[in-house]
Chains A and B, each alone.
Chain A
Amino acid sequence: MLADLSTYSLQDFLLFDAAIYRDLFAQINARAWPIAVVGIAAALACLALAAGQHRRASSASAALLAAAFATSAWLFFFGVYATINWAAIYPGWAFVAEAGLLLVASVVLGWSAQPRISVSTPRLLAGTAFALYGVIAHPLAGWLFGRAANGLEWFALAPDPTALVAIGLLAVTVPHRRLALPLVALPLLWLAASAMTLWLLETPAEALLLAAATLIGLVVLLLPARRPRENAVSDPLPGIRPAENAAVPRGLAATFLPTSPQGARTGRS
């Protein structure tokens, strides 16, 4: 059977052509464009919260992303992609799982005292720029590649910009890599798969752009969230003051459990 599989090329698994794939986005835009408008506005608001060091920036961003992954799963994967690709339900359910994970993260982040990402750190600047790329520049790049204006891919509807914005928003609102990386694992996997799909659909420029954006997103997540002096303050959660740190559980629990109700209200780091 393995020998049999080896006779297939990746292209043999593509059931559709580029024109039909592109039209899927026109279909979901026609059906649900207000969701994209609301989603983009909400994403920009979350970026503003993050830039303002608001204590609800993390939970609000995770909640928004949970909703965006859910709508993308419902409208794109189950709504239109499944009409031309019987395998689309699998990434669709993965997006549903990601939405659930983000929802849990939103609740946890709402409870816990999250250290903020310092103003002017590379992570905040690059993450904000990356999220803006996902919200605005990446969709418009499709226009440059010849897509019709009504067929552009938008956050909260199409999976690629939704995944890109997730990386950017989580980079600027969740400083702990232990929490951020599990949350962006699926978006990163999807983006890699999507870039491969675009490549096999013989749209190499779009594929390379998405692949490059994915790699840049990964780099953004790995940038330091705190200034060196602040990083030196505490362990294991950098940026949390020693008094707060004493109440913090270690290991995996440190990632998901609230630090302390008191810390959650101080909003300081």
Chain B
Amino acid sequence: MPHSFDRRTILTGAAATGLAATLGLSRAGAQEAAGAGSLTTKTVPSSGVAVPVIGLGTWITFNVGDNADALAERTAVMQAFFEAGGGMIDSSPMYGSSQATIGHGLSQLGIPDTLFAADKVWTGSPSDGPAQIAETERLWGVPRLALMQVHNLVGWEGHLDTLAAMKAEGRIGHIGITTSHGRRHAEVAAIMESRPIDFVQLTYNMADREPEERLLPLAAERGIAVIANRPFRRGALIDTVAGQPLPAVAAEIGAETWPQFLLKYIVSHPALTVAIPATRRVDHLRENMAAATGPMPDASQRRQMALAFDNL
């Protein structure tokens, strides 16, 4: 079923990107102030492509196999995501049927202009990489992936060579590496310093703030876009704050709920490009996307937010 997207939202994001370039904002994390109801975007430093700061992860939530009801529900989540102006959807061959679920949704909805298709190569043998990437493209049903990352640094040296060649040929838009759970940060930093990557994906949330010390400043310095995975620590952070009153600073930044509070903290870091919360519910998706609207916390407000969270 073809779907009509909110073109105004898309154009707002594109216009904001151009404005950022005009104003000469920093390459890393050029942030666009969102108008009422439109999404805040940031630019990928290496390409200037604008991406809404809230994306969509698919870990666990999109692994539904052949469950027809679940496939329809995830398609509804994708529809709500695109209606809100969403861009990045991230997946991996490791995530079971998640890639096929995305492909199912795109076949139902059509491929919107805003889609920023991000996936990963995940095999120990670099020689198997091209075939896996081709299979990923087939499952998504897209002609070209916007971003291909090396999943959890598995076989990263060989895969990065492959990905760099594919990018040079124009077969993929960007390349990157991923880690999670705070693992192997020293190795990630070494790759960021030595290889020409466009993206790094890592775990960053209000409870896991270690990247603020080294990796996020390094990303800003090297002009590398940053994707934050596990923004809610697989829901554990939401459980932690459940029933707690929102700190006063939440009203100042337009966070009406704890998930929005948690997300706004993440995406307001100057070096952070996009957070990818995963959900199976349309109402949660809309709540997440609302975190990309309205004012973002400044440095002082971020300190207040961290302090409030630590004192819970």
Contact A7 B182, beta carbon cutoff 8 Å: yes
- Min CB distance A191 to B, Å, is 23
Interface size on B, as a range, is: 10 to 19
Q: In the complex, A20 Cα to B69 Cα: how many Å?
A: 10
Given contacts A15-B95, A84-B96, A86-B96, contact A20 B67 (CB under 8 A): yes
- Total A-B residue contacts, Cβ distance less than 8 Å: 50
A14 proximity list for chain B (CB < 8 A): 60
Residue of A nearest to B69 (CB): A23
Smallest beta-carbon distance B75→chain A, Å: 15
A86 vs B135: C-alpha distance when bound (angstroms) = 15
Q: A15-B63, A20-B65 are in contact. Are A84 and B97 (CB under 8 A)?
A: yes
Contacts of B183 in A (CB 8 A): 4, 7
Q: Does B66 belong to the interface (CB within 8 Å)?
A: yes
B184 within 8 Å of A by Cβ? Answer: yes
A7 smallest CB distance to B (angstroms):
5
Contact B63 A84 (CB under 8 A): yes
**Given known contacts A15-B95, A16-B96, is B181 in contact with A84 (CB within 8 Å)?**
no
Within 8 A of B (CB), among A3-18: 4, 7-8, 11-12, 14-17
* B189 to A: closest C-beta gap in Å: 16
Give the docked Cα–Cα distance between A85 and B93 (Å).
11
Q: Please provide the chain A residues from 46 to 99 with a CB less than 8 Å away from any CB of chain B in the complex.
A: 80, 83-86
Between A and B, 21 residue pairs with Cβ closer than 8 Å are A7-B183, A12-B181, A15-B63, A15-B96, A16-B60, A16-B63, A16-B65, A16-B96, A17-B61, A17-B280, A19-B70, A20-B63, A20-B65, A20-B67, A20-B70, A27-B65, A27-B67, A80-B65, A83-B65, A84-B96, A84-B97
**Residues of A participating in the B interface, judged by any CB pair closer than 8 Å:** 4, 7-8, 11-12, 14-17, 19-20, 23-24, 27, 80, 83-86
> Which residues of B are interface residues toward A (Cβ below 8 A)?
60-61, 63-67, 69-70, 94-97, 181-184, 234, 280
